[in-house]
Amino acid sequence: MDLKLLKKRIYEEEKIETLLDSLNCENVHPEQNNKLICAQLPDGDNKRSIQIKNNENLTANIRSKGISGNIFSVIGYILYNATTFEEVKENLYQIIQYICNTLDYELEHFNEEPEEKKTDWCYFLRDVQKDRKKDFQLDNIPVNEVLDENILNQYIDFLYIDWWKEGISERTRKLYKIKFDLRSNRIIIPIYNELGLVGIKGRYIYKDKNEEDNSDIPKYFPLYNFYKSIELFNYDKALEYIKQQKQVIIMESEKGCIKAWQWGIKNCVGLMGGDISPAQIHKLKKIGIDIEFIFMPDKDKFDNGDKQKILMQQINQVKNRIVKIMNDKNNLLKIDKKHSPTDLNREIFIELLNEYTIKVYKS
Instruction: List the helix and strand counts (H, then E) for the chain.
Output: 14, 14
**pLDDT above 60 (res 129):** no
Mean pLDDT computed over 232-257: 96
**pLDDT above 60 (res 358):** no
172-227 tens-digit pLDDT: 999 999 999 999 999 999 999 999 999 999 999 876 666 666 677 888 899 999 99
Q: How far apart are CA 293 and CA 315, in angstroms?
A: 10
Task: Indicate the range of 73-77, 126-130, 275-279 predicted with least confidence.
Answer: 126-130
**pLDDT above 90 (res 6):** yes
**pLDDT above 50 (res 114):** no
The residue among 306, 276, 296 whose CA lies nearest residue 94 is: 276
CB contact at 8 A, 278 and 98: yes
| pLDDT of 132 | 45
Q: How far apart are CA 332 and CA 299, in angstroms?
A: 9
Number of C-beta neighbours around residue 141 at 10 A: 13
Compute φ and ψ for 360, nearest 5 degrees: -90, 130
**pLDDT above 90 (res 54):** yes
**pLDDT-derived band of residue 106, with 50, 70 and 90 as boundaries?**
confident
CB contact at 8 A, 321 and 294: no
Fold of the domain spanning 229-363: Dna Topoisomerase Vi A Subunit; Chain: A, domain 2 (3.40.1360)
| pLDDT of 131 | 47
288-332 tens-digit pLDDT: 989 999 999 888 776 666 677 777 778 888 888 888 888 887 888
- Decide which of 106 and 50 is more confident: 50
**Predicted TM-score (pTM) of this structure:** 0.86
Mean pLDDT computed over 265-278: 94
CB contact at 8 A, 16 and 10: yes
**pLDDT above 50 (res 24):** yes
Most confident of 43-47, 51-55, 118-122, 303-307: 51-55
Mean pLDDT computed over 102-122: 69
**pLDDT above 70 (res 342):** yes
CB contact at 8 A, 193 and 235: yes
| pLDDT of 330 | 81
> What is the full DSSP assignment across 51-110?
EEESSTT-EEEEGGGTEEEEHHHHHHHHHH---SHHHHHHTHHHHHHHHHHHHT--GGGG
Average predicted confidence (pLDDT) for the chain: 88
Q: How far apart are CA 269 and CA 247, in angstroms?
A: 11
